[in-house]
Structure 1
Amino acid sequence: MSAPAIARDPGLATERTALAWRRTAISAIASATLFTKVAAEGGIGWRPTGLLPLGAAVLMMLVAAIALARSRSLHRGAHRGTAPLLLLVSAGVAAVGLAAMAMVLVHRA
């Protein structure tokens, strides 16, 4: 027995979703670049506050990789469940937001 073929959605909803994932990847790469710039120019060393921007940059590159993989799979017509991906991306973005707030609060004091 062969596996059932995945039906391809001929509508534009899949295309819009794939483009949204691609935009998420682009914005995550831009955020990672800015966090790397903050770490390089900040002169904050290897203290925990210096590691926050580097950790945020790595996390945003992971988000970008997930988003790009999802965009490509949608372009190929794979319509699997996205709940684990959405949860992972949401948790990553929330963690980066918390790290950014922590950096601002620590450097204001």
Structure 2
Amino acid sequence: MSRAGLAAERTALAWRRTAVASMITGALFLNHAVINGWRPALIAPIGAAVAMAALAGLSYLRNRSLREGRHSRGGWVVATASATVVAVAVLAFVIEFTDPLP
């Protein structure tokens, strides 16, 4: 396999790890919502879980396209993934300091 093929394979595996990590993060946000009861303040963790699920889907699609040999530039995918991760990190920070302890 050529160096370009190996690079695409490594990148596809990285997108797969991103998909798995975002699914786990979304599950943790849903766990937080369930443990603390369903109240209006929990719209934020549920929204974060939905954003992480969308990121998992996007990462899976990027992984699949790289494995199928479509090596188009993925700048918009990287930008979307970065923006989602930053938004969810800020949201987690806000939740941590505004949500009362159970």
Shared fold per TM-score greater than 0.5: yes
CA contact (8 A) 1:36 1:53 kept: yes
Q: How does 1:54-69 map onto structure 2 within 5 Å? A: 54-69=46-61
Percent same amino acid at aligned positions? 37
Q: Counterpart amino acid of 1:34?
A: L
Letter paired with 2:29: F
> 1:42 Cα deviation (Å)?
1.1
TM-score (norm 2): 0.91
Max radius of gyration: which structure? 1
Counterpart among 76, 80, 98 of residue 72 in structure 2: 80
- Cα-to-partner distance string for 1:40-88 (whole Å, 9 max, x where unaligned): 11126113xx111100000000100000000000000001111100000
- The answer to which structure has the higher helix fraction is 2
Measured at CA, do residues 12 and 62 of structure 1 come closer, stay the same or move farther in structure 2, by a change above 3 Å?
same
Is the 1:9–1:77 contact (alpha carbons within 8 Å) kept by the matching residues of 2?
Answer: no
Measured on the aligned residues, the alpha-carbon RMSD in Å equals: 1.8
Runs of 4+ residues over 2 Å off in structure 1? 8-11
CA distance in 1, matches of 2:4, 2:76: 25
CA distance in 2, matches of 1:37, 1:92: 20
The size of the alignment, in residue pairs, is 100
Residue type of the alignment partner of 2:89: G
Q: Which residue of 2 aligns with 1:19?
A: 13
2:83 corresponding residue in structure 1:
91
